[in-house]
Amino acid sequence: MNHFEPPMQWNDHEDIAMALYEKFGDDFNEAKIYRIRFTDLVEWVLSLPNFEGTREQSNEGHLEQIQAKWVYEWRDNQ
């Protein structure tokens, strides 16, 4: 982890997606990413180093954007 990176919040969709891809790599392909339950996704995002948002600040829109950006990140690395 780079300690000089600013903390992430829920609206940092691309940064969160990149962090999730770094964490899980190719364990999740496009189909699997879109099948992740939002309850699981919230927990994974909250557990990321440098993430400072709260569970209460999450919403369906943020989670959908994170999934979409994660898919783009996965595609870029194939």
The per-residue DSSP string of 15-55 comes to HHHHHHHHHHGGGS-HHHHHTS-HHHHHHHHHTSTTB---G
Question: 2 falls in which pLDDT band (50, 70, 90)?
Answer: low
Asked whether the predicted pLDDT for residue 67 surpasses 70, the reply is: yes
Tell me whether residue 61 is in a domain. yes
| Token reading at 10 | 């829920």
Tell me whether residue 1 is in a domain. no
Please compute the mean of the pLDDT values over residues 34-48 and round it to a whole number: 97
Tell me whether residue 4 is in a domain. no
| Token reading at 17 | 């997606």
Tell me whether residue 22 is in a domain. yes
Asked whether the predicted pLDDT for residue 24 surpasses 80, the reply is: yes
Question: 3 falls in which pLDDT band (50, 70, 90)?
Answer: low
Tell me whether residue 28 is in a domain. yes
Secondary structure (3-state) at 78? coil
Tell me whether residue 70 is in a domain. yes
Asked whether the predicted pLDDT for residue 66 surpasses 70, the reply is: yes
Whole-model pTM: value is 0.92
Question: 29 falls in which pLDDT band (50, 70, 90)?
Answer: very high
| Token reading at 6 | 């600013």
> Where in the sequence is the domain holding 39, given as residue range(s)?
13-77
How many domains does one find in the chain? 1
Write phi, then psi, for 8 (nearest 5 degrees).
-90, 145
What CATH number has the domain bearing residue 45?
1.10.10.600
